[in-house]
Amino acid sequence: MQNQADRYKSGVMPYAKMGYWDADYVPKDTDVIAVFRISPQDGVDPIEAAAAVAGESSTATWTVVWTDRLTACESYRAKAYCVDPVPGSPGQYFSYIAYDLDLFEEGSIANLTASIIGNVFGFKPLKALRLEDMRIPVAYLKTFQGPPTGIVVERERLDKFGRPLLGATTKPKLGLSGKNYGRVVYEALKGGLDFVKDDENINSQPFMHWRDRFLYCMEAVNKASAATGEIKGHYLNVTAGTMEDMYERAEFAKQLGSCIVMIDLVIGYTAIQSMSKWARRNDMLLHLHRAGHSTYTRQKTHGVSFRVITKWMRMAGVDHIHAGTIVGKLEGDPNIIKGIYSCCRDSFTKKNLEQGIFFDQDWAGLRKIMPVASGGIHAGQMHQLISYLGEDVVLQFGGGTIGHPMGIQAGATANRVALEVMIKARNEGRDIWNEGPQILAEAAKWCSPLNAALQTWKDVTFNYASTDTADFVPTPTAA
């Protein structure tokens, strides 16, 4: 480093020279680490670009300020310490940046993100910028509550073990009256689903006021529970325009005996953390619908990867998060989705570049999120879903339940039978990946709803190339 007088002389100086680049820096165990994909403008040195990102996401401004010398600025400066070219993508670089723990307020996703993604994404010297992954130190994780319930306690409350949970989203997503809506919920739950779900944009519209929906849905839930002897639930979406409205809706859901409420990602990080604390205080499962995420997670060059959002949501504290299906209608490369599921369910996530995981991550006992697979999946894919996603997952068949030719109950039964028969076969040691279709066909002989489901949807696949793929391996797309 140059002498201090030169360093703090008024004027403009490259960020790398201001102390935001240090190739010899060894991150501390307590540092927050971020890896960004940077695409510098033509002619901009990648190291200077990385240093600029470090600077703008921590203490720097565009020019030298003498007031730095009133602070322990050397430790508050984020340090870019490594810049690697992205394999196969000229002009893109992975840059690793370490942040001192004291830069962040305890238990605040809003504060963490205001630094890490607050300012830098519009920075002119970069064409594009993407936050790929983060390593959150144990010291910081321990300041977050995490999921109010977690996978283990959710299963114990529901008394459901050994298989994925089954859900469906009520369709059509808009326009049903409360009574008609409750009918769909009852039929699906009685037929064999564990949960039914409000969609992200069902709040309180002219065709169905929220109280009406809550009342009819809880009639459906309780009636189905009595009919089957099982605990059932419906994710009542409490998303609203203000926190006061959300609390009012959540309190009403509790008063009616619901075991779960739901929020949308668009309510914002602070609102999510508030609802998480409410859910912990009130023994409530908290379902998060990731409404809006694809606006910034899908494209590889710019935005924030969904695995980072998942990590933030595990810290903020949600019990369910939509995390991809691989085989369904929405974006999902198999490797990337597996990485995201690991961030939900692991106690310790190992570095795995093929799955987009850049760091070892000790989760420090933070409870686990139940991932939710939803969007264009059906009973005929059961062997693929279980093989890819495992058993701690909610499989949601909306159209695949409600669109069944023999009715909603039959649609639910088809999914439940397909699920149980596949878990049973897997446990018996059968190779479900290859024998799956045959296992389903055998069950369809004694289960006519399953037979009808297989006939109706046998050829439905969404076989498109993924956009959010791993950089370190060839990326197949599931059939």
424 binds another protein (CB under 8 A): yes
β-pairing, 195-197 vs 370-374, is: unpaired
Q: What is the DSSP letter of 131?
A: E
The nearest distance, CB 222 to another protein, in angstroms, is 4
- Distance CA(200)–CA(189), nearest Å, equals 20
396: Cα within 13 Å, side-chain hemisphere? 27
Distances (CA, A) of 222 to 190, 225, 254, 308, 398: 10, 5, 14, 37, 20
Q: Is 160 a catalytic residue?
A: no
Distances (CA, A) of 227 to 17, 259, 308, 387, 407: 71, 18, 42, 31, 18
The nearest distance, CB 416 to another protein, in angstroms, is 5
Complex with another protein: residue 103 or 284, whichever CB lies closer: 284
Distances (CA, A) of 209 to 171, 179, 198, 205, 238: 17, 11, 13, 6, 12
How is residue 248 written in tokens? 């009012």
- Fill in the amino acid letter for 202: I
441 binds another protein (CB under 8 A): no
433 binds another protein (CB under 8 A): no
The nearest distance, CB 56 to another protein, in angstroms, is 38
Span interacting with another protein, options 17-25, 86-94, 153-161, 380-388, rule CB under 8 A: 153-161
Looking only at residues 214 through 253 of this chain, which bind another protein when binding is defined by CB under 8 A?
A: 215, 218-219, 222-223, 225-231
How is residue 87 written in tokens? 């394999």
The nearest distance, CB 461 to another protein, in angstroms, is 26
- Interface with another protein (CB under 8 A), residue total 37
268 three-state secondary structure: coil
Span interacting with another protein, options 4-12, 21-29, 159-167, 298-306, rule CB under 8 A: 159-167
The nearest distance, CB 64 to another protein, in angstroms, is 49
Instruction: Select from 37, 77, 130, 163 the one that contacts another protein (CB under 8 A).
Output: 163
Catalytic residue among 17, 127, 160, 171: 171
CA angle 469, 391, 415 (to 5 degrees): 100
- Distance CA(417)–CA(227), nearest Å, equals 18
On whether the CB atoms of residues 325 and 375 are closer than 8 A, the answer is yes
Partnered with residue 233 across adjacent β-strands are: 195
Looking only at residues 460 through 479 of this chain, which bind another protein when binding is defined by CB under 8 A?
A: none
347 binds another protein (CB under 8 A): yes
The nearest distance, CB 164 to another protein, in angstroms, is 11
The nearest distance, CB 230 to another protein, in angstroms, is 6
How is residue 258 written in tokens? 């619901």
Phi-psi region of 170 (alpha: psi -120 to 50; beta: other; left: phi over 0): beta
207 binds another protein (CB under 8 A): no
Complex with another protein: residue 23 or 152, whichever CB lies closer: 152
Catalytic residue among 79, 289, 293, 404: 289
Q: Is 289 a catalytic residue?
A: yes
* Tokens 């023994």 found at: 283
- Distance CA(9)–CA(429), nearest Å, equals 71
Span interacting with another protein, options 46-54, 154-162, 169-177, 295-303, rule CB under 8 A: 154-162
Span interacting with another protein, options 17-25, 151-159, 179-187, 336-344, rule CB under 8 A: 151-159
The nearest distance, CB 270 to another protein, in angstroms, is 29
- Fill in the amino acid letter for 6: D
Instruction: Select from 245, 251, 354, 420 the one that contacts another protein (CB under 8 A).
Output: 420
Residue in 391, 392, 385, 396 with CA at minimum distance from that of residue 433:
385
β-pairing, 93-99 vs 79-85, is: antiparallel
The nearest distance, CB 241 to another protein, in angstroms, is 23
Looking only at residues 250 through 289 of this chain, which bind another protein when binding is defined by CB under 8 A?
A: 255-257
Phi, psi values for residue 133, rounded to 5° = -160, 165
421 binds another protein (CB under 8 A): yes
Q: Using CB under 8 A as the criterion, what x/- string covers residues 307-346 for binding another protein?
A: ----------------------------------------
Q: Using CB under 8 A as the criterion, what x/- string covers residues 111-150 for binding another protein?
A: ----------------------------------------
Q: Using CB under 8 A as the criterion, what x/- string covers residues 386-415 for binding another protein?
A: ---------------------------x--
On whether the CB atoms of residues 57 and 115 are closer than 8 A, the answer is yes
416 binds another protein (CB under 8 A): yes
- Cβ-Cβ contacts under 8 Å for 189 (sequence gap 6 or more): 195, 196, 220, 221, 224, 225, 228, 232, 234, 412
Binding site for another protein (CB under 8 A): 152, 155-156, 159, 161-163, 192, 211, 215, 218-219, 222-223, 225-231, 255-257, 347, 368, 413, 416-417, 420-421, 423-424, 427-429, 446
- Active site residues per annotation: 171, 289
